[in-house]
Amino acid sequence: MAAPGAAGSGFLFTPDGFLLTNSHVVHRASLIVASFSDGLQQMADLVGEDPDSDLAVLRVGQTSVPPAVLGSSSTLSVGQLAIAIGNPFGFQATVSEGVVSALGRTMRSQSGRLIEGIVQTDAALNPGNSGGPLVNSRGEVIGVNTAMIMGAQGLCFAIGIDTAKYVAGRLIKDGKIERAYIGVVGQNTPLPRRLAAFHGLELRSAVLVVGVEPGSPAERAGLQERDILVELNGVALDGVDTLQRVLSEHASGVPTDAFVLRGAEKYLITIVPASRPVH
């Protein structure tokens, strides 16, 4: 997949020609050409992009290339096989193999927003791999390759496919995603069974607050580092993907109730999400 002055990777994920790639691959492109493994080249239309998650959806005409099968990133385990497919430095359909090195990482998108639920892998990525699929041993897409750390070896990152599925659906429907913002950095954390049972929670995991931005709605509401968010706006939070979805669907400026665990105690706090600040 290429735009003037840039090149990257992508993959079909529906039979009717929708493609998934990174936002930074196609951002501000005036012309996008999609090249397929069978040699076909087609003009691609930008359906929508979300710089906050570094994802974009394109659409092409009819093609004989079958769509990728989407798996799940919520069931991944550290150490399982991970295979990256893409076009590094223009070498089409290059495959590199590695393992899932870590789960639940965070990284900052080019818009300045932290992307949670990142999959870390040691499958080799290079410039041009961006937007390509990360697949498991069954050939199911488990992530969208997005970044590597220059000068490091074996430190590569992909956006979890569960996040990508949600973002792609919203982009197909609305062409963009507007998010409310509370100003926390969170990560998935197991919820001790005894603690969950004591408070009547049917959750195995929740969102651990690892950072609270100064002056944010979360700080004004009294949220603290090491708090565990278990519910927001009536939705049980089993991880950061769910938190992002709730905020994406919640209007800024509207108060919402949140339940947090602080130590062994459960607290109700009221947060007023704001429009995400521009960085």
Residue of 9, 50, 53, 54 with catalytic role? 54
pTM of the model: 0.71
Contact 100, 78 (CB under 8 A): yes
Question: Which pLDDT tens digits describe the chain residue by residue (279 residues)?
Answer: 544 567 899 999 999 999 999 999 999 888 999 998 888 899 999 999 998 899 999 999 888 889 999 999 989 999 999 999 999 988 888 999 999 999 988 787 776 666 878 999 999 998 899 999 999 999 999 999 998 777 777 889 999 999 999 999 999 999 988 778 899 999 999 999 999 999 999 999 999 999 999 999 999 999 999 999 999 999 999 988 789 778 877 888 999 999 999 999 999 999 999 987 654
Burial zone of 153 (CB within 10 Å; 0-12 exposed, 13-18 middle, 19+ buried): exposed
Catalytic annotation present for 130 = yes
Domain presence at residue 108:
yes
CATH code for the domain in which residue 223 is found: 2.30.42.10
Instruction: Note whether 83 and 164 are same-domain residues.
Output: yes
Residue of 53, 73, 96, 130 with catalytic role? 130
Instruction: Note whether 206 and 267 are same-domain residues.
Output: yes
Range of the domain at 110: 69-174
Instruction: Note whether 39 and 130 are same-domain residues.
Output: no
Token pair 């979300």: residue: 50
Contact 122, 101 (CB under 8 A): yes
Residue of 9, 23, 24, 109 with catalytic role? 24
- For the chain, give me the number of helices (H) and strands (E)? 5, 23
Catalytic annotation present for 248 = no
CATH code for the domain in which residue 29 is found: 2.40.10.10
Q: What share of the chain is helix, strand, coil (3-state, %, to 5)?
A: 15, 40, 45
Catalytic annotation present for 54 = yes
